[in-house]
Amino acid sequence: MKKIASTILVFFFTTFLLSFGKESDPMKVYDAIINPVLEAKCVSCHGAEKDKGKLRMHTKEFLVQGGRGAGDAIIVKGEVEESELIFRITLPKDDEEAMPPLEDQAHYNPVTEQELSVLKSWIKLGASFDMIINDLDEAGRKAAEHVLKNLPEKKLSATALLIPKLPEVPPANTSTIEKLHDSGLLVMPIAQNTNALYVNASYKGKSFNDESIKLLQSIAPQLLWLNVARTAITDKATESLSNFSLLERLHAENTTLTDAATPHISKLTNLKYLNLYGTGISDASIENLRKLKKLKKVFLWQTKVTSKGAESLRKNFVDQKIYATLIKEQSNLTAQKDQIFNNYDLELKKLNAVMQQNSAKTEDTSPINDKCPVSNKPVDVTKFSNFEGRMVGLCCDSCKAKFAKDPSSYRTKITNFKPSKDFENSLATVKSKENSKLEALENVGKKLREISSKLNSMGPEINMGWSVAQAQK
Is beta strand 297-299 parallel, antiparallel or unpaired with respect to 273-275?
parallel
Instruction: Specify whether 447 is located in the same domain as 464.
Output: no
Give me the pLDDT at residue 69, please.
44
Instruction: Specify whether 334 is located in the same domain as 380.
Output: yes
- How many residues make up the chain in this entry? 473
Domain assignment present for residue 157? The answer is: no
The dihedral built from the CA positions of residue 231, 235, 240 and 243, taken in this order, carries a sign that is positive
Helix (H, G, I), strand (E, B) or coil at 230: coil
Instruction: Specify whether 337 is located in the same domain as 311.
Output: no
Give me the pLDDT at residue 105, please.
56
Domain containing 182 — which CATH number?
A: 3.80.10.10
Q: What is the mean pLDDT of the chain?
A: 82
Report whether 297 contacts 289 (CB < 8 A).
Answer: no
Which range, of 21-25, 113-117, 300-304, 338-342, averages the lowest pLDDT? 21-25
Q: How confident is the model over 330-354, as a mean pLDDT?
A: 93
Provide the pLDDT confidence category of residue 370 given band limits of 50, 70 and 90: very high
Please determine, for residue 85, whether its predicted confidence score (pLDDT) is greater than 60.
yes
Give me the pLDDT at residue 466, please.
39
Domain assignment present for residue 313? The answer is: yes
Please determine, for residue 160, whether its predicted confidence score (pLDDT) is greater than 70.
no
Domain assignment present for residue 164? The answer is: no
Q: How confident is the model over 305-309, as a mean pLDDT?
A: 90
Please determine, for residue 473, whether its predicted confidence score (pLDDT) is greater than 60.
no
Top pLDDT among 304 and 470 is at 304
Measured distance CA(202)–CA(186) in Å, rounded: 9
Measured distance CA(436)–CA(162) in Å, rounded: 47
What are the Cα distances from residue 443, in Å, to 185, 329, 330, 436, 452?
53, 14, 13, 11, 14
Report whether 260 contacts 236 (CB < 8 A).
Answer: no
Domain assignment present for residue 284? The answer is: yes
Top pLDDT among 84 and 3 is at 84
Count up the domains in the chain and report the number: 3
Measured distance CA(197)–CA(205) in Å, rounded: 20
Instruction: Specify whether 433 is located in the same domain as 464.
Output: no
Report whether 169 contacts 195 (CB < 8 A).
Answer: yes
The dihedral built from the CA positions of residue 243, 244, 249 and 250, taken in this order, carries a sign that is negative
Measured distance CA(22)–CA(223) in Å, rounded: 57
Report whether 297 contacts 320 (CB < 8 A).
Answer: no
What digits encode the pLDDT tens for the residues 455-465? 777 777 788 76
Report whether 278 contacts 253 (CB < 8 A).
Answer: yes
Q: How confident is the model over 196-201, as a mean pLDDT?
A: 91
Please determine, for residue 22, whether its predicted confidence score (pLDDT) is greater than 70.
no
Report whether 421 contacts 335 (CB < 8 A).
Answer: no
Give me the pLDDT at residue 192, please.
67
- What is the phi/psi pair of residue 385, to 5°? -135, 145
Domain assignment present for residue 154? The answer is: no
| Bridge partners for 387 per DSSP | 390
What digits encode the pLDDT tens for the residues 424-455? 999 999 999 999 999 999 999 899 888 887 77
Instruction: Specify whether 50 is located in the same domain as 144.
Output: yes
Instruction: Specify whether 236 is located in the same domain as 292.
Output: yes
What are the Cα distances from residue 254, in Å, to 258, 399, 464?
11, 60, 15
Give me the pLDDT at residue 106, please.
54
Give me the pLDDT at residue 432, please.
95
Domain assignment present for residue 180? The answer is: yes
Measured distance CA(280)–CA(50) in Å, rounded: 38
Instruction: Specify whether 284 is located in the same domain as 349.
Output: no
Instruction: Specify whether 46 is located in the same domain as 81.
Output: yes
What are the Cα distances from residue 182, in Å, to 52, 140, 218?
19, 40, 15
Measured distance CA(128)–CA(145) in Å, rounded: 19
Instruction: Specify whether 314 is located in the same domain as 462.
Output: yes
Measured distance CA(121)–CA(354) in Å, rounded: 52
Domain assignment present for residue 292? The answer is: yes
What digits encode the pLDDT tens for the residues 201-259? 987 889 999 999 988 999 999 999 999 999 999 999 999 988 899 999 999 999 999 99
Please determine, for residue 409, whether its predicted confidence score (pLDDT) is greater than 70.
yes
Give me the pLDDT at residue 321, please.
84
Give me the pLDDT at residue 153, please.
62
Instruction: Specify whether 197 is located in the same domain as 302.
Output: yes
Provide the pLDDT confidence category of residue 25 given band limits of 50, 70 and 90: very low
Asked if omega into 100 is within 30° of 0 (cis), the reply is yes
CB-CB neighbours of 358 under 10 Å: 21
Q: How confident is the model over 98-120, as a mean pLDDT?
A: 77
Q: Which domain holds residue 435?
A: 323-454
Domain assignment present for residue 335? The answer is: yes
CB-CB neighbours of 121 under 10 Å: 23
Measured distance CA(325)–CA(321) in Å, rounded: 6
The contacts found for 382-385 with CB under 8 angstroms, 24 or more apart, are: none
Q: Is the pTM of this model over 0.85?
A: no
Give me the pLDDT at residue 165, please.
66
Give me the pLDDT at residue 470, please.
33
What are the Cα distances from residue 100, in Å, to 203, 297, 334, 402, 468?
19, 20, 38, 56, 13
Instruction: Specify whether 443 is located in the same domain as 462.
Output: no
What digits encode the pLDDT tens for the residues 266-276? 999 999 999 99
Tell me the DSSP string of 298-346.
EE-TTSB--HHHHHHHHHTTS-HHHHHHHHHHHHHHHHHHHHHHHHHHH
Measured distance CA(72)–CA(101) in Å, rounded: 21
CB-CB neighbours of 244 under 10 Å: 24
Instruction: Specify whether 295 is located in the same domain as 183.
Output: yes
